[in-house]
Amino acid sequence: MRVYLDCNATSPLRPEARAAMLSVLDAPANPSSVHEDGRRARHLVEEARATVAGFAGAAPEDVTFTSGGTEANTLALFGSLQAAAEQGQRFTRLVVSGIEHDSVLNGARRAAELFPGLRLSELAVTSAGTIDPQALRSNLREGKGKALVSVMAVNNETGVIQPLQAIAAACAEHGALLHSDAVQAAGKLPTRLADLGADIITFSAHKVGGPQGAGALVTRQGIRIAPQILGGRQERGLRAGTEATAAITGFAAALKAKSWPAPALRNELEQRLREACPEAVIFGIGSPRVSNTTCIAAPGVPAETLVIALDLDGFSVSAGSACSSGRVARSHVLDAMGVDPDLARCAIRISTGWHTTHEDIVAFAGAWGRIVTRARARAAA
């Protein structure tokens, strides 16, 4: 029997989401069709939109469905930049942190190439993995022109919660627009726009127990976004293409479930891991973290060795982000935190989910301890 502990990459599908999706798949129709079947599909999409809106503390008309978090982040960045340019209020500065998801980091770098006069700043983070609001404030104070800021709510590798309210205050002082990738926060923290202090937030269904293939961009009322996928007038003209009714319905059903591991489970896991290897380092442990994420390194034991050995023992974990096409790659997040490269190469991420049990944690800690002990003994021989 396998134990799945890679929920930050994708969560197992919740039973509620599966049931909702099957009910839609048994009666397929295009939500843009005017006949009764089409109207039924449209009703399901709009019901789901109202659910996401309630979850985010927004109006339903300010929710745009996408194919996932990456598309939602791309729409947030490029859509904001293009809309401002079209209104003659061009952004001159784009500020992101050095620990953002690749969809934000790579999107921001590409935007800086495509939008004339746009200057990109990548903020450093502390050794604890947090953005310093004062550093952002200084950056905004020293620059000129309108700024777009993108800072994630929760880091996908370390689980560290960013001080978004303080970041939002710094943005408000300088008239900057704030986007937050809330993909890893959804279901684990309050993620209403008012809770985060952001103007734009993004979600992904498969991180909360919904299906892959659905996500959402949510904006504060009055925020302008320019479409990046052109075609029909779906999603109020902001995202062309037939809505994925089944995936969207499953997304909404997953958001309603709201059951996630308690911090006690993570705390016990980390205690057991450190008992097995007292030299182990847990990254971000000095900062507030969500209750399901542990990023840990056993010095001298490469992440690739651990991930493969654990896989053979029946445990699914990852080395950092799952967005590296199956490669165990060096973590830009740990680099940004100033972690020694040799130690960073030993880091793995354990991320529990709605389905994780105490027995799973005990079994994993035992396997991890045995593998680490064997690997270190071989290295010392």
Task: Collect all residues with Cβ–Cβ distance below 8 Å to 29 and sequence separation of at least 6.
Answer: 35, 37, 38, 40, 41, 245
- The predicted-structure confidence for 322-377, as pLDDT tens digits, reads as follows 444 455 567 999 999 999 999 999 999 999 999 999 999 999 999 999 999 999 88
d(CA 290, CA 263): 8
Average pLDDT, rounded, for the chain: 94
Q: What is the pLDDT of residue 325?
A: 43
What is the rounded average pLDDT of the residues 22-29? 87
Which domains occur in the chain, in start order? 3-11+260-380 (3.90.1150.10), 15-257 (3.40.640.10)
d(CA 67, CA 258): 22
What is the rounded average pLDDT of the residues 175-200? 96
* Residue bearing the bigger pLDDT, 29 or 44: 44
Residue 131: pLDDT above 70? Answer: yes
Q: Which two tokens stand for residue 164?
A: 């978004």
Q: What is the pLDDT of residue 321?
A: 53
Q: Which of 123-132, 253-262, 323-332 has the lowest mean pLDDT?
A: 323-332
What is the DSSP annotation of 3-66? EE-BTTT-PPPPHHHHHHHHHHHTS---TT--SHHHHHHHHHHHHHHHHHHHHHTS-GGGEEEE
Q: What is the pLDDT of residue 1?
A: 81
pTM beyond 0.75: yes
Catalytic residue among 7, 171, 323, 346: 323
Q: Which phi and psi (to 5°) does residue 241 adopt? A: 115, 145
Please say whether the beta carbons of 13 and 211 come within 8 A: yes
- pLDDT-derived band at 92 (thresholds 50, 70, 90) equals very high
Q: What is the pLDDT of residue 274?
A: 96
Q: What is the pLDDT of residue 32?
A: 93
Residue linked to tokens 């993995």: 129
Active site residue 277: no
Q: Which residues of 243-267 are buried (b: 16+ CB within 10 A; e: fewer)?
A: bbbbbbbbbbbbbebeebbeeebbe
